[in-house]
Amino acid sequence: MKSYHDYQQCIEACLRCAALCQHCATSCTREQEIQMMADCIRLDMECAALCYAAAQLMSMGSESSRDLCRICAEACRRCAAECSRHDNEHCRECAEACRVCAEQCSNM
């Protein structure tokens, strides 16, 4: 059975991505054109939830880790694509974390 140490790099990428997605969502609510940021906020929150769930399952050595990581990688790619459309630091930072996390989750 696999454990935390087997998944450590992916867990850390997921936790970093989740934290930056939440930071991005919160920062987006402070933008002047908040309606324009609605998809970004929604995808940030969805991505963060999936990243946290994937990290938890991997930490437990769950057999469902691989399946959830596949879903997480897809959510990260969607979030990175949306964040890349916006020209602000929090979106750039989030997009990069999402790309790294998608790569880690895809390698599971």
Could you give the count of Cα atoms lying within 13 Å of 90 in the half-sphere of its Cβ?
Answer: 17
Q: What is the pLDDT of residues 2-52, one digit of tens each?
A: 778 889 999 999 999 999 999 999 999 999 889 999 999 999 999 999 999
Q: What is the pTM assigned to this prediction?
A: 0.95
Sketch out the chain's domains with CATH numbers.
Answer: 4-106 (1.20.1270.360)
What is the number of other CB atoms lying within 10 angstroms of the CB of residue 69? 28
Q: What is the pLDDT of residues 50-73, one digit of tens each?
A: 999 999 999 999 999 999 999 999
**Alpha-carbon span 105 to 88, nearest angstrom:** 26
